A and B are shown apart, each in its own frame.
Chain A
Amino acid sequence: MHRAKIASPPSHKKTVTVALIGNPNCGKSTVFNQLTGLRQKVGNFPGVTVDKKVGTLSLSDGTAIQLVDFPGTYSLYPTSQDERVVLNILANPQDALYPDVVLYVADSTHLEKHLLLFTQIKDLGFPSLLALNMADEARKENIVYDTAALKKSLDVPVVSISARDGENFPQLKQALLSLLQQPTATSRLFYQFSEKEKSVATAIQKYLNLKNPYQALLVAQNAGRLPFLNQQQRDKIQNAVQENEFNRLNKQVREVMQRYDTFTPILKKSVQRTTGSKRSLTEKIDDIVTHRFYGPLIFFGLMVLVFQAIYAWSSFPMDLIDAGFRNLNEWVKSVLPAAWYTDLLTDGIIAGLGGILIFIPQIAILFLLIALLEEVGYMARAVFMFDNVMQKFGLNGRSIVALVSGAACAIPAVMSTRTISNWKERLISIMVTPFISCSARIPVYTVLIGFVVPASITWGIFNAQGLAFMGLYLLGIIAALVSAYILKRLLKSEERSFLMLELPAYRMPVFRNVLLTVWEKVKTFTIEAGRIILIVSIILWVLASYGPSNKMELAENQAIELAQESNLDESTTADLIAAKKIEASFAGHLGKFIEPAIRPLGFDWKIGIALITSFAAREVFVGTMATIYSIGSAEDEGSIRDRMAREKNPLTGKPTYDFATSLSLLIFYVFAMMCMSTLAIVKRETNSWKWPIIQFVFMTALAYFGSLLVYQLFS
């Protein structure tokens, strides 16, 4: 089967595909953002969870360009899923994203390290344009280029740019236009094939009908992992490889050496560097920031600041959103007639939407700060400092970003694990991140903590409730680390784990990049998580609003009779009806059905209802409690707590929310996997139902037995 064919020339296409390629830290995203602005779409590369950014721009002659931002990679020898995507597309002329030309971005302050991939791209035969980025930095460091000499010896148009401030971007676009008008790719190869390589390449070129010999060689090298090949093709390639005694790793080392040998002399001739032996500012900053003692101290200080900022800055917009949705709800109720669809719209859909949007301020602030730390170059230092500790728990230094983000919301945190190249380490990070107490647990903790620790106790400046709060967070962290350790022992992996991390020079952040990252994360959260929360909110609304046969009506009539007997006012009557109705609803029946199972944890059927409804999202607990205790109209945490404090156990006459039950419930909420959206994201990121199911069962079991232990000990 001959699937591969030669790509059609650009002139036959409506839009031209330009690939943006370069090493990590070359400033590629800054170039992308500078060229496309908000005209960009974020998605996934087909079949894998690697961010795919595609933007559009048009050139002066009206040519429409589809600019694809490929993940940063050092070479076409992929080590992570991100890097593999680059090879998968560039080795397959059939791919929808196969570029017509390549815009290669290199850091001009480290050109000697950024040309390896460039020579590979050139050898693949792509018409290319070399953008020497960070020209401003190069000037500061007294690095002088002879661009004409570079252009001649590398056989490529060269433009010196600074993406940070858009320097020379008109020239860059002009050069791109000239390249598109005359897409010339030379046949000259930077890499000289050995005899064996030649025969392997020729065989594969013929078999797959590939135009370029280096493409054929890359196919030979990676045949087993290229998704566009079928088993028959793989076997055939494998045969060609074996016939010619082609040694993959050996070839790779030889190739890399040879490539450096070809371009190093070129750079020696055309680049002048007059930097002295003076230590750079970056090194001086790192003396403190990665210091044995101050380093970790600064990290924890920064994290405390981040959380302070999240809580301090988000409370105002969150109150606004909350009030906004409540007003909208009341307005809709006043305009539409009282009917089931009004209830569905208000209590189901609008309440569900409000529940999603309320988290946006916290997520936006967290990602603003994390993106800033990332842009400046700090995150790489954090990874360096904590890699060893993380390793002991089967995690990777890079997991620290996920664990920190998890304190805001597990959804973006799980997504942030994509940079971990080792699958086992990435999987463990995904599995344990939801143990970190996210912002949705805060309302639950706030309501319950008063029943465990009285507000009056203080030790000096420390408030006992504040310490208890911290204790709950700590418990989540311990659970995450212990489970990570268990998973490390259970999961087998042949894949080797590497750190090998570039520590980029500290730079002033580019705010355009930071803001675009925040925008993109917030959008992903709203769409990905929002969809599921909305669906589950509607299902839960149905469960709580409808009951078997005519029991709901019966309950309502009973409530009205009761209200008339005891002369209740209008709002108390409405609350009483709501409480009686939820008891008679499917949710109420479910609560009663699971009561025997949760009795040993100290929970009654009312708490059971709250557990079921807050399965969608933990914070729903508070709203459900309000409805069950018939104070639905007063939805603030203080009044719910007061009402819960008065609740008595009908059998013993003692308060329901005593120390043991409340603590047990708190423990349950620390451990339990009560977030549909996280499960959905985990399913997407691991590409199977297996891991989210294991995660759900494991976390719920831990919650159950943890609560059981606590309740049996203290009751």
Chain B
Amino acid sequence: MAHTLDQLEVGKKGIITEFADEQAGCQLMTMGILPGSEVKVIRKAPMGGAIYLKTDHQQFAIRNTEAECIVLK
């Protein structure tokens, strides 16, 4: 079942299938977050709102609203 990155619990992994929003998706892609990449949620921000995630060998922080655009399988 398709779900988005913001629904993933801390410590869980998923593989990106597509981006629900082209503008956000394109920006993520330029940073190296691509369809086919495996992403892991490392933790949530202390006061919420953002996610600390890891893909390949790199750590990123993105907002929940941006994570909603990332569709996983």
Q: Do A and B form a real pair?
A: yes
- Judge whether B57 and A388 touch: CB under 8 Å: no
CB within 8 A of A502: which of B23, B24, B60?
Answer: B60
CB contacts (< 8 Å) of B58 on chain A: these are: 110, 113, 502
**Shortest Cβ distance from residue B23 to the other chain A in the assembled complex, whole angstroms:** 7
With A286-B52, A499-B61 as contacts: A256 and B46 at CB distance below 8 Å: no
- Judge whether A501 and B57 touch: CB under 8 Å: no
With A286-B52, A498-B66 as contacts: A249 and B60 at CB distance below 8 Å: no
**Shortest Cβ distance from residue A261 to the other chain B in the assembled complex, whole angstroms:** 10
- Judge whether B22 and A250 touch: CB under 8 Å: yes
Q: Is B63 an interface residue (CB 8 A)?
A: yes
CA distance A292 to B43 in the complex (A): 9
Residue of A nearest to B29 (CB): A256
Interface residues of B (CB under 8 A from A): 22-32, 34-35, 42-50, 52, 54, 56-63, 66
Q: Is A253 an interface residue (CB 8 A)?
A: yes
Give the one of A252, A280, A504 with max B CB within 10 A. Answer: A252
A residues 263-303 in Cβ contact with B at 8 Å? 275, 280, 282-283, 286, 290-293, 295-296
**Shortest Cβ distance from residue A533 to the other chain B in the assembled complex, whole angstroms:** 39
The 8 A-B pairs at the shortest CB distance, nearest first, are namely A388-B49, A113-B32, A384-B61, A503-B59, A75-B30, A74-B30, A499-B63, A501-B61
- Judge whether B29 and A257 touch: CB under 8 Å: yes
**Shortest Cβ distance from residue B50 to the other chain A in the assembled complex, whole angstroms:** 5
**Shortest Cβ distance from residue B47 to the other chain A in the assembled complex, whole angstroms:** 5
Residue contacts A-B, CB under 8 angstroms, 12 given: A75-B30, A113-B32, A280-B57, A290-B46, A291-B46, A293-B46, A387-B50, A387-B63, A389-B49, A498-B24, A500-B28, A502-B31
CB within 8 A of B56: which of A112, A116, A293, A388?
Answer: A112
- Judge whether A389 and B47 touch: CB under 8 Å: yes
Size of the A side of the interface (Cβ < 8 Å), in residues, is 47
Number of A-B contacts (CB under 8 A): 116
With A253-B25, A256-B30 as contacts: A380 and B61 at CB distance below 8 Å: yes
With A74-B31, A249-B23, A256-B30 as contacts: A501 and B46 at CB distance below 8 Å: no
Residue of B nearest to A392 (CB): B49
- Judge whether A253 and B22 touch: CB under 8 Å: yes
CA distance A541 to B23 in the complex (A): 56
Q: Is A329 an interface residue (CB 8 A)?
A: no
Residue of A nearest to B56 (CB): A112
Give the one of A79, A291, A498, A499 with max B CB within 10 A. Answer: A499
Residue of A nearest to B63 (CB): A499
- Judge whether B60 and A501 touch: CB under 8 Å: yes
**Shortest Cβ distance from residue A604 to the other chain B in the assembled complex, whole angstroms:** 47
